[in-house]
Amino acid sequence: MELVSIGTTSHLKELGAYIGAILTTAHHNVRVVVHDGNPMGTVSVHGDRFPSERRQWLNLVGDVAHAVSLCIVDVFEVDLLTRMLTKRYQTLDGDARAAVLAGARVHLERGPYPRRVYRRARAALVADPLRQALADEGGVMVEGMLTFRLARYRALLEEALGQAVDDLLLEREYAEFIRLLRSFVAAQPTRTDRVDLVVRGANFRLLDREGRPMAVHEGRRVDLEGLEAAVNYEDVLISALIAAAPTRIVVHAAPAASAAHVDSVRRVFDTRVVRCAAHRCRLCASA
């Protein structure tokens, strides 16, 4: 006797495996049957008889819904994100879509807790409507559920996609800003042959060729025809170095120090940035 049936047009084998893995341990008196139809296949749960008690029926339905929800999050979710991305952001090219898709998955599992917590939370959004549909109707179509009944889950995915698209646009704007800065630096005449950059954790110091501290003021900005940086990325440091216009920037930092400042400077000044190679350098020791 067929007790529950789940239809799908994709990932039939994976769906059957998820349902079978959970029901095999939780319900010994049922069997899972996978029928590969065209275009829609089904995963059916069969038993010798229909559960005599409502509680038994709801337990069975709950376990099936749990299995299907995990399969949707683990397997179907990528396809759903891809369709949403294609429909809503048609102007993005292939590389951009791949970056947004990867970024959306990161956003879905970003937070203070282990990744499995966010996976379970998304599965819970799917499982509750599934459980109700199976209890009422005894069968569902996965793609139909995803399209018409899982609004909260879809909204969560759409929000993650939107965040990933925003990240991509910010990265592109930042890359353009850095490109303009590099062009500006390459075109301006140099004013000094050397500046020492001492990095200590998240802090930095600038020293002139005589070893004297250089004044760093937030008011000293480079005006590239009114361009504003999309990302405020060590802008005080970059502005001070552009104002100094050195031929060479010597970096002094502890070996295990964070490279954030150095990376930012190197993006703009490229080969002008060199790491200190002096033996027992007092500036490196103080970093």
Average per-residue pLDDT in the chain?
88
Give the confidence band of 26 by pLDDT, cuts at 50, 70, 90.
confident
C-alpha–C-alpha distance, residues 152 and 132, integer Å: 15
| pLDDT for the residue numbered 217 | 54
Q: 231: helix, coil or strand? A: coil
pTM score > 0.85 for this model? no
Residue among 266, 148, 128 at smallest CA distance from 199: 266
Q: Which of 31, 32, 36 is nearest to 10 (CA)?
A: 36
What pLDDT, on the 0 to 100 scale, is given for residue 87? 92
Question: Cβ(189)–Cβ(242) under 8 Å?
Answer: no
Split at pLDDT 50, 70, 90, the class of 257 is low
Rounded Cα–Cα distance for residues 126 and 152 (Å): 9
**Lowest-confidence region among 77-81, 135-139, 213-217:** 213-217
Residue 16 burial (CB count, 10 A): 23
Which tens digits make up the pLDDT trace of 198-236?
887 767 889 998 889 887 654 343 444 443 443 344 778
Q: Model confidence over 165-188: pLDDT tens digits?
A: 999 999 999 899 999 999 999 999
Domain boundaries, the chain: 2-176, 188-286
Q: How many CB atoms lie within 10 A of CB 177?
A: 19
**Per-residue pLDDT for 238 more than 70?**
yes
Question: If pLDDT is split at 50, 70 and 90, which confidence band does 250 have?
Answer: very high
Label the pairing between strands 30-35 and 246-253. Answer: unpaired
Structure token digits, residue 144: 């139909």
